[in-house]
A and B are shown apart, each in its own frame.
Chain A
């Protein structure tokens, strides 16, 4: 249960990070707050869109899906089931691979680092690790 709670909180933060990047990419708000990073360079690169859709939107959908599955998995009737954790682990594995590819592009192709993207990659990796930990941990027993 603790792992799922941690995943839900991480997914919520990740959802807001992705939402911020997506809203900026569709023209909502002004300059992207990036400190010393190269967020605008990354966002303006050809890789910022995949299949015509902003990459950040995939993040919004991914985090929202993980959050929804986690909240559903936290319902008392589902706490003992491994199914939700398995779904989260599958989604997070996809998220980690996607984040790894994007980080590679930032480092070696675009030559600019977007701090928000790095934050998202760290969050997704934490979710993935938490889901693996939850899969290895026996489900808690609840009294009838």
Chain B
């Protein structure tokens, strides 16, 4: 019986040590991707687009992946907009990052999407981040969740990890934010239709009316 209690004691110590190790082992990579960069990098990138290059109207969205209003728009309004306006060639949609300072993991999410974009799956990751938005309400580091989403978006996870480790798009994201500031973005989501700030309601019907109007203006020119 003494041998059993000795075994129990040794196992308790071993498991305790393992628990301490597991709780303290943090990856440094996502933190690098989450930091605001010192330098703003203009690499010529102007956002991922969805829709026809020849569409007469372009909508540019300045969004923040941690913003609940952006998630609501992406989940509720975007499916209709995609079906009725983007798929029909009426509009091309461009997404620009505008991480708000009060959102601690916004840059990390933007970087996760950029790293997916590197593999040609920006919009898949964009949808994952917005459709599973509970990560933004927990206040906890969502690095592991983003990794699960990257898997769900069928990304090469090793390449995505390496991209997140490098933090290589942090400067690009900051450039996008600066660009938004210059265009007087004052919240997210903010939209521009053919370069003009959209001030209507954020629902698909209002967008349809505004886009039809912008298309008519293009035709008149």
| A positions within 8 Å CB-CB of B | 5, 8-9, 12-13, 16, 19-20, 23-24, 27-34, 36, 38-41, 44-46, 74, 112
Contact = CB atoms under 8 A, between A and B. Distances in A.
Contacts, number: 69
A12 B12 contact: yes
Contacts of B200: none
B183 interface: no
A9 B15 CA distance: 11
A5 B22 CA distance: 27
Interface residues of B, number: 31
B25 A30 contact: yes
B208 interface: no
Contact of B145 (A5, A24, A41): A41
B72 to A, nearest CB: 18
B143 interface: yes
B221 interface: no
Given A38-B151, A41-B145, A74-B1, A19 B19 contact: yes
Given A27-B140, A31-B26, A33-B22, A8 B8 contact: yes
B89 to A, nearest CB: 34
20 contacts: A9-B8, A13-B15, A16-B15, A20-B19, A20-B22, A24-B23, A30-B24, A30-B26, A30-B27, A31-B30, A31-B141, A32-B144, A33-B22, A34-B144, A38-B148, A40-B142, A44-B135, A46-B134, A74-B1, A74-B4
